[in-house]
Structure 1
Amino acid sequence: MSYGTMTCPFCNATVLSNTIRRYFSAHGTSEESSLNDACELLVSGTFCPNCRKTIFTAQYTGLKMPANTIIPIYPLSPARQFPDYIPESIRQDYEEAYSILSLSPKASATLSRRCLQGMIRDFWKISERTLFEEITALKDKIPASQYQAINALRQLGNIGAHMEKDTNLIIDIEPQEAQYLLKLIELLLQQWYVERHEQEKLYADIVDTNNIKQSCRND
């Protein structure tokens, strides 16, 4: 059993995890195989006391396996569960981009690009012929550093969305690089949608409270 912290993908709570782990090892049994070819599978389960759900992941190692590969089992991806007031199409693109992160980082980056475009059109009400034009129209409405990151996401997403002019040129996107884009999408969802919703709720609560108090004074 090991201890650490993680974010629950179901409720977004920070969990002080006590993780139960079970190992499965496979070793070579024929003359052609050796212990150096052995692979090991680690299945981990973490219980979240906030939503009372258990998160399961698998990690496998071995000389013929990719290094430090962690595969979500339940839920199928570590994507955050965002509120329903964010349009479903945007949440679906984000969750799908996470679900294929390990299988195809390039495709994941393309979906992050699509998700960004949906957010700009929905939240900022900017709709142009291309995403480049939409980001340009957004430039003066957001911090310069955010604009630069968003434009970089667009360009990285283009790698998966469009074939290079030189068809022999192959530019890959690594899983960690595609994950950077997903973290940016999460940040924008939090800042643009969640924080606006929480601010509007706070403002409404204060106004409602004041109306009640003023009504009591006038009685």
Structure 2
Amino acid sequence: MKCPYCNTGIKLIIEGENTYRSQQQNGGENGIKIIQGFCSECNQFIVLLEQGKYRWEDDAAELADAHSTEIIYPKFILRVIANDVPQEYRNDFNESNSVLSASPKASAALSRRLLQRLLREKYKIVGKKDLSQEIEEFVKKPDIPIEIKNAVDAIRNIGNFAAHPNKHQITGEIVDVEAGEAEWLLDVLEELFDVTFVQPALAKIRKDKLNNKLAAFGKPSMK
């Protein structure tokens, strides 16, 4: 798992856990497990909720066949955005991320609107009818890494644009979302930030260092 504070892959240092019966059904009893612990990297407190099958064995409650695990504290996962990304884009991204756990619908709407801004302002995709057409134009660009093209293009399928036209026609409108859609949008925006802002900034730093070395030897700089 990734720590919601430092965004580092960690093994949770468990301090305590409790299992409870949550629901009785014909196929058995469902249960939940509350796990408390600390990040092994930054030592911040984290609480997890696991769901699965409840059983009582050896005078103790246990959770078997866990099928889901989610972070319930803190309420949202911190996603650190590089300073190379302009502040206005970082603000919109952080707003979308901050409401993810409370309202995936609102988060997805904010992310779609931010994606549309990026495509229009940084990739100069204008004059299109809606976000779906703008994505279609984006994936045609020859200088975009194929992994990013595929990730952005997948937004239309994961969000089921065909069944929910308002998602691409009115990007900021709050509508129902598919499972994992809001998280995927944030992941894709992070990747797009990296390609659009971070990697060019790193390339400029490398180029400037090389030009300084060339200048020291009296040689012409790279264009």
**TM-score, normalised via structure 1 length:** 0.64
Q: Which amino acid aligns with 1:19?
A: I
The DSSP-based 3-state class of the residue aligned with 1:80 is coil
Q: Which amino acid aligns with 1:140?
A: K
Residue of structure 2 equivalent to 1:31: none
Gaps of 5+ in 1: 1-5, 29-35, 165-169
Using a 3 Å threshold, how does the CA distance of structure 1 residues 116 and 136 change in structure 2: closer, same or farther?
Answer: same
The DSSP-based 3-state class of the residue aligned with 2:33 is strand
Distance in 2, Cα, partners of 1:202 & 1:182: 29
Residue of structure 2 equivalent to 1:214: 218
Using a 3 Å threshold, how does the CA distance of structure 1 residues 79 and 127 change in structure 2: closer, same or farther?
Answer: farther
Q: Which amino acid aligns with 2:44?
A: T
Residue of structure 1 equivalent to 2:122: 123
Match of 2:201 among 173, 191, 197: 197
Q: Which amino acid aligns with 1:203?
A: K
**TM-score, normalised via structure 2 length:** 0.63
1:153 deviates by 1.8
Match of 2:152 among 150, 159, 180: 150
Residue of structure 1 equivalent to 2:73: 73
1:84 deviates by 2.0
Residue of structure 1 equivalent to 2:25: none
1:184 deviates by 1.9
State whether residues 59 and 70 of structure 1, in contact with CA within 8 Å, keep that contact through their aligned partners in structure 2. Answer: yes
Match of 2:44 among 54, 62, 66: 54
Distance in 1, Cα, partners of 2:100 & 2:50: 17
1:195 deviates by 1.1
Q: Deviations over 1:4-32 (max 9, x none)?
A: xx5555555x555452342144569xxxx
Distance in 1, Cα, partners of 2:5 & 2:33: 28
State whether residues 148 and 191 of structure 2, in contact with CA within 8 Å, keep that contact through their aligned partners in structure 1. Answer: no
The DSSP-based 3-state class of the residue aligned with 2:212 is helix
Query: Is 1:87 aligned with 2:86?
Result: yes
Q: Which amino acid aligns with 1:194?
A: V
Gaps of 5+ in 2: 23-28, 55-65, 170-174
Q: Deviations over 1:107-140 (max 9, x none)?
A: 3332221221122234324444643454354333
Residue of structure 1 equivalent to 2:178: 173
State whether residues 106 and 157 of structure 1, in contact with CA within 8 Å, keep that contact through their aligned partners in structure 2. Answer: no
Q: Which amino acid aligns with 1:153?
A: I
1:37 deviates by 6.7
The DSSP-based 3-state class of the residue aligned with 1:140 is coil
Query: Is 1:23 aligned with 2:13?
Result: no
Distance in 2, Cα, partners of 1:11 & 1:54: 9
The DSSP-based 3-state class of the residue aligned with 1:90 is helix
State whether residues 160 and 178 of structure 2, in contact with CA within 8 Å, keep that contact through their aligned partners in structure 1. Answer: no
Distance in 1, Cα, partners of 2:135 & 2:186: 18
1:193 deviates by 1.7
Query: Is 1:109 aligned with 2:113?
Result: no
1:179 deviates by 2.4
Identity of aligned residues (%): 26
State whether residues 148 and 192 of structure 2, in contact with CA within 8 Å, keep that contact through their aligned partners in structure 1. Answer: no
Of 88-97 and 140-149, more deviation after overlay is shown by: 140-149
